[in-house]
Structure 1
């Protein structure tokens, strides 16, 4: 079930490199791949991270809890993460969490929009470097926290794709297929656009240039006429091929 859940992993305190110890993070992100990568980085840094997969779930959570930091993906199934960022700034401009905008693609395109909405920092996907993650989170915490990073003590982590299990990758690809099939059945252009954006996001996270290109073809198209049905069929085939490959590897 895709919903808010607590993300905690056991491990010794010594292995967590205390720079984010005691910090609570709410991550608003629909991709399991992106969420799992950030979860691992947060836990290794001593932070506690909870996830929401859409705006509605995030707003419910934030009405009950007050995390130190909120990381918001811009592209979400029920709207733009920019809406949530602007709402949080408007509701409590002073006593609010540090706000980090998260997205794939060209940060030069989405960065100014996120800043205008009120984001305190930008975190481009994929986030494959632990030091980048820690530095970004620390940058939105009050100066009075007095926290710092010893770069030599930061756990060495490979690229984001190497952090992810086959099951997490399969979950995202299965979900992408469901999104595309649902949009195709309903002939809903907005739903199809979101599905293509979701595929783009996981393709960037998994460093799959071919899949990213296929998703871009669909994003650049409009409506359900012309070559769009062929583009949809091709992308579904590519996703199914990758899903089958992952399932065979597990089996």
Structure 2
């Protein structure tokens, strides 16, 4: 997907790799305050079912350590906090300070305290010890990472042997007719909704483009295997609009 080591994609644009982190930060600084509202509107609430399936596939149990990477406003963190209990730990990590602050405020208001910590972190260079987490999730965040291969290797490093990674991300629809409907939705309705609700058409135009530039199901599966994950598989949801990839560290 990347053109060379010095350039990368920002939506449909080719930019210097060194600039992408700043450009993505600008998008999420802009959308953070309305992020949850827009998720519900744009997915018609279905994102909650996708995330529930991720939780159900995680194998997380009381006492586990979980990293919710690119965790944004903390939907997964809130659920994991209840599962791991007082003996467990959940780290909500995001590279974007605005998203992390929204997540911290939201979870505090929900009464989610005690076993949750908040870390601003780059997925490519995770600031955690080797073999630390039982489970890592990254939901709708990998496509915004500049060097996805480096991020996958970083995730593998901080997972315990036997631990699992779950990548929930927009992907490639399984049928041509669904692709056509989804293209119309993505490039007409999504930016328009962003303009009307979040007063930010450009950011939602980028988000639509970033979905199209993200690796498809089989390509991402291969990337995870190359990074060192074992028994990698994926489950298509909503006709392949979203896919949940799973891999293990052995």
- After TM superposition, the score normalised by the length of structure 2 is 0.29
Greater RCO between the two (CA within 8 Å, min separation 6)? 2
Give the helix-richer structure, 1 or 2.
Answer: 1
Structure with larger Rg: 1
- After TM superposition, the score normalised by the length of structure 1 is 0.28
Give the strand-richer structure, 1 or 2.
Answer: 2
